[in-house]
Chains A and B, each alone.
Chain A
Amino acid sequence: MRKYISVLLAASVSLASSTIMADNNADANDLKDYFIKKFPGVTTDSLVNGAYALDEGLFMQWQDVEDNFPPYEDNLAKGEELYNKPFANGKTFASCFGDDPSAVRVKYPHWDSETQQVVTLEGDINKCLTDNGEKPFKGKKGNLAYVSAYLAYQARGQKINVVVPDDPKAKEAYEMGKQFFYAKRGQLNLSCADCHVYQAGMYVRADLLSPTVGHTTHFPVWRRKWQLADKNEDGFGTLQRRYDGCNKQVRAKPFKNQGEEYRNLEFFHASMSNGLEINGPGYRK
């Protein structure tokens, strides 16, 4: 009994203190230091290339695809077309996001003090549609991913800069995302961190596990796996589509698209790439 009480006490103390701390840049720096020590010769900036940063052979093959025939090009063009297409009311996405499409991606995800929640780029793309009397884009792929990909492409080279403001609710959201990331889940009892922090650089079967620093810079992504999954599939998907895949792989039930759990996770997850360059959309196997 005494053991349980001390465990409970320790848990409540650490929760209380971490709620006050919530320093996303300190967390990001800790992880960057960790990976740099774990992977000698790999630079922090190169982590935007995911698993390809860890293996020269894989990197060469991947760069060849990115440079010569990126499979996402056609859908980038579709994203641009959709972004500039007037709504029924004559307005466009620029009425929500401003005149410079290259200045949008870097603002997300962010804490919205008015609604007291984390706002994602994909969430705001759909909000813009519904605010203007249009139907929102469905799901985690297709048009939603194309528009997001276009805005990421426009912002390439800018640095991720997620800010957790000095607001207890914002800090709580960040801590919830962090807790999600480090908590064991699913029948296989694996946390996000198990594969993408502790075991990053190791292989599961033939798949090299990517470090979490640099994960969100290249989203949305075009995945060969997604293209092969369905004959009508073009391979594009949002970050939250990828979260579904991770949950399914550890045999956990995926959470609601753009629901609180995933938005808070995105808030933490994107913070871990603070200071790294946006290089989306990316090609992944």
Chain B
Amino acid sequence: MTKPSQRIAILLSALVLSTGLLSTAAMAADDAVAQGKALAFDRKKGNCLGCHAIEGGELPGNIGPPLIAMKARFPDKKKLYDQIWDATARNPMTAMPPFGKHGALTDKQVELITEYIHTL
């Protein structure tokens, strides 16, 4: 049997540990979104603004739809990743470049961009 004070100490340290873990995870997610945004806005990388309006992006093109309500449009994040990786799989005639398939972006970069786009 442990003393009540010991039990409280164990509980407290467990709490501290778990919030620490939680905030690390949250920080990593924020970081991925920030990196994804930088890649999405970079003209030589994703250049999403070439064709899509994005909140906070200047001089967007309008060939593709504005990137809004992405969680409603892509409840499954994997489908959004697939669309960015190779949009021709769903529509061979699409004007959207197959960024992953043609190596314009690495799989990791597509993943980061997906993290960001999915927050819009």
Given contacts A187-B102, A195-B95, 9 further A-B contacts (CB under 8 A): A188-B97, A189-B97, A189-B98, A202-B61, A204-B51, A204-B63, A205-B49, A207-B61, A251-B104
What are 12 A-B pairs with beta-carbon distances under 8 A?
A: A187-B103, A187-B104, A188-B97, A188-B104, A189-B102, A198-B95, A203-B61, A203-B62, A204-B51, A204-B63, A205-B49, A205-B61
Chain B residue with the shortest CB-CB distance to A199: B63
Is B88 positioned at the interface, with any CB of A under 8 Å from its CB? yes
Is B60 positioned at the interface, with any CB of A under 8 Å from its CB? yes
With both chains docked as a complex, state the minimum distance between the C-beta of B96 and any C-beta of chain A, in angstroms.
Answer: 8
Residue numbers in A under 8 Å from B95 (CB-CB):
190, 194-195, 198-199
The 9 closest A-B CB pairs, nearest first, are A188-B97, A204-B61, A203-B61, A206-B59, A187-B102, A202-B63, A194-B95, A203-B62, A189-B97
Chain A residue with the shortest CB-CB distance to B88: A189
Contact surface of A with B, Cβ cutoff 8 Å:
187-190, 194-195, 198-199, 202-207, 251
Is B50 positioned at the interface, with any CB of A under 8 Å from its CB? yes
With both chains docked as a complex, state the minimum distance between the C-beta of A159 and any C-beta of chain B, in angstroms.
Answer: 32
- Contact residue range for chain B? 10 to 19
A203 near B102: Cβ-Cβ < 8 Å: no
A205 near B50: Cβ-Cβ < 8 Å: yes
Chain B residue with the shortest CB-CB distance to A189: B97
CA distance A194 to B98 in the complex (A): 14
Residue numbers in B under 8 Å from A189 (CB-CB):
88, 97-98, 102
Contact surface of B with A, Cβ cutoff 8 Å:
49-51, 59-63, 88, 95, 97-98, 102-104
CA distance A39 to B9 in the complex (A): 74
A187 near B50: Cβ-Cβ < 8 Å: no
Chain A residue with the shortest CB-CB distance to B102: A187
CA distance A189 to B88 in the complex (A): 9
Chain B residue with the shortest CB-CB distance to A190: B95
With both chains docked as a complex, state the minimum distance between the C-beta of A37 and any C-beta of chain B, in angstroms.
Answer: 19
CA distance A116 to B93 in the complex (A): 34
Residue numbers in B under 8 Å from A194 (CB-CB):
95
CA distance A204 to B50 in the complex (A): 5
With both chains docked as a complex, state the minimum distance between the C-beta of B19 and any C-beta of chain A, in angstroms.
Answer: 44
Chain A residue with the shortest CB-CB distance to B57: A205
Chain A residue with the shortest CB-CB distance to B86: A189
CA distance A199 to B97 in the complex (A): 14
A205 near B97: Cβ-Cβ < 8 Å: no
Chain A residue with the shortest CB-CB distance to B51: A204
With both chains docked as a complex, state the minimum distance between the C-beta of B106 and any C-beta of chain A, in angstroms.
Answer: 13
CA distance A188 to B61 in the complex (A): 16
With both chains docked as a complex, state the minimum distance between the C-beta of B59 and any C-beta of chain A, in angstroms.
Answer: 5
CA distance A190 to B103 in the complex (A): 15
Q: With A190-B95, A199-B95 known to touch, is A205 a contact of B102 (CB < 8 Å)?
A: no
A205 near B59: Cβ-Cβ < 8 Å: yes
With both chains docked as a complex, state the minimum distance between the C-beta of A185 and any C-beta of chain B, in angstroms.
Answer: 11
CA distance A198 to B62 in the complex (A): 13
CA distance A202 to B50 in the complex (A): 11
Chain B residue with the shortest CB-CB distance to A207: B61
CA distance A204 to B49 in the complex (A): 8
CA distance A187 to B101 in the complex (A): 9
Chain A residue with the shortest CB-CB distance to B98: A189
Residue numbers in A under 8 Å from B60 (CB-CB):
203, 205
With both chains docked as a complex, state the minimum distance between the C-beta of A14 and any C-beta of chain B, in angstroms.
Answer: 16
CA distance A29 to B103 in the complex (A): 38
